[in-house]
Structure 1
Amino acid sequence: MRMQFWKKTVDDIYSDNPPHQPVAVELWKAVKRHNLTKRWLMKIIDEREKNLDDKAYRNIQELENYAENTQSSLLYLTLEILGVKDLHADHAASHIGKAHGIVTCLRATPYHTSRRRVFLPMDICMLVRLLLHLKHARSLHKSVPVKAFPAFLQTVALEDYLKKIQQVNFDIFHPSLQQKNTLLPLSLYIQSWRRRY
């Protein structure tokens, strides 16, 4: 029911008839101001609708597809807001979105297992694939327009989590992984200042 509401809302927004609902009105304004692509919004809704039953991912490819259609789609929209139309930036956004989706799945595992639910894909290559996505996105650094970098600063938080998990020998239940890094804002600032992601 909620997904049908959002599908209709997005259709109405692109028909210049947004519902009188605060989020819908703000989204309509953003669509008008930045000429946002409807396809990215619909991909997010469609993918969430497919995953409403919250089943575990059968393999890493399923998780990557979910991340591509949700996290990467959000990054594509962010690039549009920044006025970036660049193949290399889109390529980097794809890999960063996949890495973000995998890290989110990892980070949520202790919470989900405490409720007797598991969403991790059964593939054991998960961390290797995650590192490859980050590495690949960063290899595009020189090809990606600097204007796109703010959209990709989330890699700082992803890398922070990866370093922490490596320090505890990949024990996703280690209590230290639930602690916030108070220096993360500083790291974000430094990476932004250095124009790196």
Structure 2
Amino acid sequence: MRMQFWREAVEDIYCDNPPHQPVATELWRAVKRHNLTKMWFMKIIDEREKNLDDRAYRNIQELEMYAENTQSALLYLTLEMLGVRDIHADHAASHIGKAQGIVTCLRATPYHSTRQKVFLPMDICMLARSFSKKVPVKAYPAFFCTVALDDYLYNMRKVDFNIFHPSLQKKSTLLPLHLYIRSWKKTY
């Protein structure tokens, strides 16, 4: 039902008739102000709907597809809001979104394991920064999510990749500082 509501809401937003719902109203304003691409919203909704049955991913390609159509799609929309239309930024958004989706699944492994589900693919996570030399600086704010990804992967290495280690379940108090430093240095 929720996915159908959002599918109809997005259709109505692009017909200039948003539902009387606060999030939909703000989304309509953002679409109007930044000329956001409808396809990205529909990809997110479609992919989330496919994932409602909570089945395990059969392979890395399925997880990558899920991350591309959810996390990367959000980054593409963020780039549009920043006024960035650049192939290198899009390429980085694709890989960073995939890395974010994979790390999110990794972080959720202790929870999923209590339900006899484990997601452990990590091979694509290290590709995200290989594009940083070609991405325009204006696009960097869209990729500041890498600060949290780096923090988690660094902490995981410190505990010898023991995803069940209790320290990995704690919030990082230095994360805002690291985010500020990356923002100041104009890196991601």
Q: Same fold, TM exceeding 0.5?
A: yes
Shift in alpha-carbon separation, 1:119–1:17, aligned structure 2, 3 A: farther
Distance in 1 between residues matched to 2:137 and 2:109, nearest whole Å: 34
In the TM superposition, what whole-angstrom CA distance separates every residue of 1:115-151 from its partner, at most 9, and x where no partner exists? Answer: x241416xxxx223222x32xxx22112111110000
Q: Within 5 Å, give how 1:83-122 maps onto structure 2.
A: 83-114=83-114, 116-120=115-119
Q: Distance in 1 between matches of 2:144 and 2:92?
A: 12
Find the aligned partners of 1:72 and 1:165 in 2 and give their Cα distance: 23
Q: Which amino acid aligns with 2:100?
A: H
Match of residue 190 from structure 1: 181
Summarize the Cα distance change of 1:27–1:117 in structure 2 as closer, same or farther, 3 Å threshold: farther
1:129 lines up with 2:128 in the alignment: no
Question: Residue 112 of structure 1: CA displacement?
Answer: 2.2
Structure 1 vs Structure 2 CA RMSD: 1.0
Percent identity over paired residues: 72
Deviation by residue 1:139-164 (Cα, 9 ceiling, x = unmatched): 21121111100000111110111111
Contact 1:64 1:101 in 2 (8 A): yes
What is aligned with 2:16? Answer: 16
Give secondary structure in 2 for the equivalent of 1:182. coil
Higher RCO by CA contacts (8 Å cutoff, separation 6 or greater): 1
The answer as to whether partners of 1:55 and 1:119 remain within 8 angstroms in 2 is no
Helix, strand or coil: the match of 1:20?
coil
> SS in structure 2 opposite 1:51?
helix
Normalised to the residue count of structure 1, the TM-score between the two structures is 0.92
Which amino acid letter does the alignment assign opposite residue 51 of structure 1?
A: N
Gap regions ≥5 residues in structure 1:
none
Q: Structure 2 stretches of 5 or more lacking a match?
A: none
Task: Report if the CA contact (8 A) 2:95-2:124 is conserved.
Answer: no
Distance in 1 (alpha carbons) for counterparts of 2:13 and 2:122: 39
Normalising to structure 2: TM-score of the pair? Answer: 0.97
